[in-house]
Amino acid sequence: MKQDFVFWHMLNSLVVTHEYRIIHISPDHKEVWLEGLGNKQAPIIRVYRYDLDWSTWLQRDMEKTAFQVANFRKQLRKSKLSAVNIYVSTYPPVDDWEFRLQEPLEKNKATVNSVVVHEGNLEHSCNRISNLIGKEVKVEVENEDEEALHHLKQIVLDASARAIKKEKELFQFGKPLFTYLFIAVQVIAFFILEMNGGSQNTETLIQYGAKFNPLILEGEWWRFFTPIFLHIGVLHLMLNTLALFYLGTAVERIYGNIRFLFVYLFAGFAGSLASFVFTPSISAGASGAIFGCFGALLFVGIAYPKVFLRTMGMNILVLIGVNLTIGFAIPGIDNAGHIGGLIGGFLAAAIVHLPKHIKPLPRILGLLLAGALTFYMLDYGYNNENPYTQISQAESLLQKGEYDQAYDMLIPLEEQKNEYPEVLFYLSFIDIKKGRINDAESRLVDVTALQPDFHEAHYNLALVYLEMKKTEKALVSIERAIEIEPDGANYENIRSEIIQSLDSE
């Protein structure tokens, strides 16, 4: 009876006081596995109520436990894992046994320290367990009747049940509504684009609200939001729809409908704003808002670090890392928009916070930081000293045919051509319009060297070579443009024209 009290007092200390979570309990309630990933010293604890006899059995059971901990390590995707294995026995084994516990067992990067608690070493073993897990474990046995034991057992089981219920409530606060609405909107928008010139047609994208810096600078602020629902090509749509289906539903269940709506739209806005400030190219897509969902899940890790680490933490961190790495490795991906969306989603989650949380400080800090960043980014984006703003303004002037003004605006930036290769492209366009073919050739050669996947530059270079009667070079350039962008407008027509010119020579 006394050791039964020791067993449940120990579980009470671990579960109620130190908030370990019961992940397995045997039908007879004699073996309990606990998880506390927030405790790096001992994330896994096993407590086993068993009256030991021979130390050979103890050795076999310790090895079996080490094998189970190694399996936990694989499931948790950890490089290594430590565990404490506790036996609560009336008496120690009858033969020599202490040498078996002197060193921890190691198996497949899993380390298991075992402790035998018996009537003769209760204080000493509790001190050892406390040292192993880095937290004080108290066992105070006073009243040893059946009723008291049942009450103690019920306290532990109820605390575990409440923790599990609270965790389930965290992930099931709301039902997805806006996620499905946004999926429907972006699919409908895609078909509208396809029926009106194509989702990969630049003019169509601009007409229907893609992020286009020159028009934003002219006052079309709504282009910070409309790109969230537009996609460039069917693959882009499919990938973002799939990501939104999985991430959006998870975030909406955690935060609820209205909070999710704010998080998603603010993250999309933040992604468009970052893209506006740091990239002059046309862009569209839900990627910034989807990265905002990542940011909202990261905020869960701040509010509930233990639950986050145990459930989704490592997967979310890996996914963010992989997506950002792909963004930096593959040309044409708007990483500024991704990072802006990630930060925006995190700050938006801080502002609305999780349901049933009334702590005002995180909300105030999130609101102040989000407001300050938004103001700074808007001010910098609309500031004429921002090179990307100057490039966008020059692009707007080019569309109006004001070549001299555009040239004067761009020429000071030519010294920074390594950082802003598009400056060379626009200057070469002005050169072509002004009849300076040699200058255009030189600048286009430079820009294709600096940015090899700039298909429009290869196309323009082909036109310049054709004008200069350098037909073979023109063919090489147009074929490179087609290789990069097979669906490029007029690319095949120019190629055919160049081939005909070669055949006639």
Other CB atoms within a 10 A radius of the CB of residue 17 amount to 13
Please indicate, yes or no, whether the overall pTM of this predicted structure exceeds 0.85: no
Residue linked to tokens 């930036």: 413
Task: Select from 332, 333, 335 the least CA-distant residue to 343.
Answer: 335
Amino acid type, 217: L
Q: What is the arrangement of strands in the sheet containing 110-117, beginning at the earlier edge strand?
A: 21-25, 31-35, 44-49, 81-88, 110-117, 105-107
Tell me what pLDDT residue 505 has. Answer: 59
CA quadruple 464, 466, 470, 476: dihedral, nearest 10: 90
Q: Is 287 a catalytic residue?
A: yes
Tell me what pLDDT residue 142 has. Answer: 66
Q: Which stretches of the chain drop beneath a pLDDT of 70?
A: 1, 141-144, 167-171, 305-320, 322-332, 358, 384, 488-489, 503-505
Task: Select from 298, 389, 381 the least CA-distant residue to 344.
Answer: 298
- Indicate which residue of 160, 199, 275, 287 is catalytic: 287
Tell me what pLDDT residue 231 has. Answer: 92
Residues 6+ apart with CB under 8 A from 164: 21
* Helical spans, DSSP H, in 54-201: 55-76, 122-133, 146-171, 178-195
Amino acid type, 132: L
Strands 44-49 and 105-107: unpaired
Q: How far apart are CA 15 and CA 445, in angstroms?
A: 69
* Helix (H) or strand (E) segment spanning residue 43: none
- Indicate which residue of 18, 338, 353, 455 is catalytic: 338
Tell me what pLDDT residue 312 has. Answer: 63
Tell me what pLDDT residue 130 has. Answer: 92
Q: How far is CA 408 from CA 397, 411, 414, 430, 434, in A?
A: 11, 6, 11, 11, 14
Q: Give me the count of residues in the chain.
A: 505
Q: How far apart are CA 170 and CA 56, in angstroms?
A: 45
Tell me what pLDDT residue 301 has. Answer: 81
Task: Select from 327, 315, 233, 259 the least CA-distant residue to 288.
Answer: 327
Tell me what pLDDT residue 213 has. Answer: 85
